[in-house]
Structure 1
C-alpha cells in the first residue's frame, strides 16, 4: 500500500484503506507493507521502488498518483497495480482502479445540512482545489439546494490535505460568514474543521471514514467512503486469480460504497423526520428518479445539472 501524502493516522482515507488491508490479512493471510511518501513529488519514486521489489500488487490511494503510477506501470508491464478512488478513465492495462460515487454520499449530507442549519448558510472546506474535491462539492450543493433552494452554500479550499491548523482557520472564517455546518473534505486537514466546530459550537461533517467520534455532539454526520472495501476487493480478486488491469469499478449507494454515518456519537443531532426523508431520497437514487450530478460530467458554462434539473453553482455556470 502506498499512501497519499497525509499518510497513516489521518483518521480518514488512508486509515480506511489500511482497514481493508487488515481484513485481507485476516481472510487470505496476505502480508502487506505500507509505504508513506511525504509529498506528491515522491510518489513516482516510491511506486518505482515498490515495483522493483516484486510485490504481488501495489495499491495506491491518491488522485495525484494517477500520472506517477501510469509512468511506472509502463516501465513495469508485468507488475499488477491498483489505484483506489480516482477518475473514470482506465489508468493503464496493468492498473485496476475504482471510483467512489462520493457525489451521491455528498448529496445525502448536503440535504441533511440544509435541513438542519439554523442560519440558512452552510459551508464546504476542501483540501486542494482539484476536480476530485469539486466532485464532493457539487453533490453537496445539489443535495442542499434540493432540501432548500434558498440555502446559501459557501465554498473554501485550504490548499493542503495535511494542515489541521489551516482547516480550523478556514472553517472559522466560514463561521464568521454565518455558516453553522461545514463539510470537511480535506484528509488530515479535516481534523481542524472538526476542532473549529467544537470551539465555535457549530457542526462539522466528517469525510471518508466515520469521524463522528472525534467530537461527539459537534460532528453532525460523516460521509463515509468504503475505500477499505475497494482495496480489499482488489486483493480478493488477486487471491482468486481474477485480478484485471485496465478496468474501472464504481462504488456508489447501490454497492454500499457511500453512506451518511449514524451512530451513538451523533444520535439526536438530526431530526427524525429528516432521517425519514433521507431514506426516501436513497430509494429515489436507487430507482433513478434522482440522478446526482458528477462534476466530471459537467461542462464550463453549463446552466443546469442533475435529475431533477437545477441551476449549477456560479463556479460552473459562469465559467468560460
Structure 2
C-alpha cells in the first residue's frame, strides 16, 4: 500500500513540475523580422498589426527589426533577435532563406515562424505560413475582368486590356500574376494581361511610371503587387482617371473612386493565429500552414468604395465566384 502511495506522489510531483515548466516557458518576447520596412500600408504593416495584437492580448514584449532590403542587415537582424532573447521569431525571409535555416538549426529552442514562403531546416523546427496567392489574385482577376468588359463604367474603353505591376520578378509575384490571369480569362478568354516589373519594392515614383505605361497601352485597370512601390500605381490610377487594385491590406480608401478592391493577404491574422497555437500548446514545429480563400488567409476587400465603382450585378457575380472557389467547385491552378 505504501509503495503504491509513493508511486502516486511521485507521479503527481512530475505532473506539477511539468505544469510549472510549461508556465515558465510561456513566450515573453516576440520578434518580427522583415526584409523590407514598415510604412508600406500593405504587407509589412499587416504583419505588424498582428504583432501589435499579440502584444496587447497576451501582454508580451514585441520588437520589429527592419532590414530595409539591405542584404548586409539580414544576419544582423537574426542575431539581434537572438541577443534580445526573443522566444518567438516571425520572419519574412525573402533573400536570406538559407541563413534563416542555419540560425534555426543553431537555436532549436526558439519558435521560428517563416511568413509567406516555405523554408525547411535540418532540425525541422521552422513552421512556414504559406499563403495561396493564386486564389486571392484569381479573385482580383475576376474583378479586373468585369471592369474591362463593362464600358458602362466611367473611363473604361472598348479594348479588353488589364495590367499588373510587380515589384521584382520573383516566384511569389509570378504566383499572383498566374492567378490574376486565370481570373481574368474566366470572365473572358480574350482579355489581354500586360505586366511590368518596377524592379524595386520601395519607390512609388517607379510604380507610377510603370502604371502610366500600362494605362497608355489601353489598360483599364492595374493590379499593384509591389509593396510601397505600388502606392505610385494607385496615384497613377487617380491621375489618369483609371482604376487599380490594391494588395495585402485594404487600400481601397487610399485613392477613392479609383481603387476598386484590394487582394488581401491577412498576414497579421496568420501571425496572431500561429502565436495562439504556441500559447495553447497545439503548435507544430516544422509544419507548413496553407492559408487560402477558404481559410480566410486571402480574399477581397469589398466595401463602399467597391460599391461606388462596380455595378451591383457584377458585385453579385464576384461573390458567387468567390463561394465557388471556397467550396472547391472552381479550382485555381498553383504556379508551382
Fold shared, TM-score > 0.5 on shorter chain: yes
* Structure 1 unaligned spans of 5+: 297-320
Match of 1:126 in 2: 166
Change in 2 beyond 3 A, CA 1:259/1:289: same
C-alpha separation in 2, matches of 1:210 and 1:125: 17
C-alpha separation in 1, matches of 2:267 and 2:333: 21
Change in 2 beyond 3 A, CA 1:287/1:39: closer
Deviation string 1:147-206 (CA, Å, 9 cap, x unpaired) is 011111001111111111110111111111111200000111110111111111111100
Match of 2:62 in 1: 32
> What is the SS of the residue equivalent to 1:292?
coil
Give the C-alpha shift of residue 62 in structure 1: 4.0
C-alpha separation in 2, matches of 1:60 and 1:151: 38
C-alpha separation in 2, matches of 1:29 and 1:217: 40
Question: Does 2:38 correspond to 1:8?
Answer: yes
**2:74 alignment partner, one of 25, 43, 58:** 43
Change in 2 beyond 3 A, CA 1:72/1:53: same
Give the C-alpha shift of residue 211 in structure 1: 0.4
Range with greater deviation from structure 2 (206-215 or 238-247): 238-247
Normalised by the length of structure 2, the TM-score is: 0.84
Change in 2 beyond 3 A, CA 1:28/1:129: same
> What is the SS of the residue equivalent to 1:32?
strand
C-alpha separation in 1, matches of 2:69 and 2:39: 16
Question: Does 2:88 correspond to 1:57?
Answer: yes
Give the C-alpha shift of residue 65 in structure 1: 4.0
Match of 2:98 in 1: 67
User: 1:6–1:188: 8 Å Cα contact kept in structure 2?
Assistant: no
Give the C-alpha shift of residue 50 in structure 1: 1.0
**2:196 alignment partner, one of 142, 147, 156:** 156
**2:133 alignment partner, one of 80, 102, 112:** 102
C-alpha separation in 2, matches of 1:274 and 1:65: 42
C-alpha separation in 2, matches of 1:67 and 1:211: 33
Match of 1:310 in 2: none
**1:20 alignment partner, one of 50, 65, 72:** 50
Q: What's the RMSD between the two structures over aligned residues? A: 1.5
> What is the SS of the residue equivalent to 2:164?
strand
Give the C-alpha shift of residue 40 in structure 1: 4.3
User: 1:66–1:91: 8 Å Cα contact kept in structure 2?
Assistant: no
> What is the SS of the residue equivalent to 2:127?
strand
Change in 2 beyond 3 A, CA 1:91/1:146: farther
Alignment of 1:159-238 (within 5 A): 159-238=199-278
> What is the SS of the residue equivalent to 2:184?
helix
What count of residue pairs does the alignment treat as equivalent?
295
C-alpha separation in 2, matches of 1:125 and 1:287: 30
Match of 2:11 in 1: none
Match of 2:290 in 1: 250
Alignment of 1:293-308 (within 5 A): 293-296=333-336
* Structure 2 unaligned spans of 5+: 1-30, 149-155
C-alpha separation in 1, matches of 2:181 and 2:63: 38
> What is the SS of the residue equivalent to 1:64?
coil
C-alpha separation in 2, matches of 1:204 and 1:36: 28
Normalised by the length of structure 1, the TM-score is: 0.88
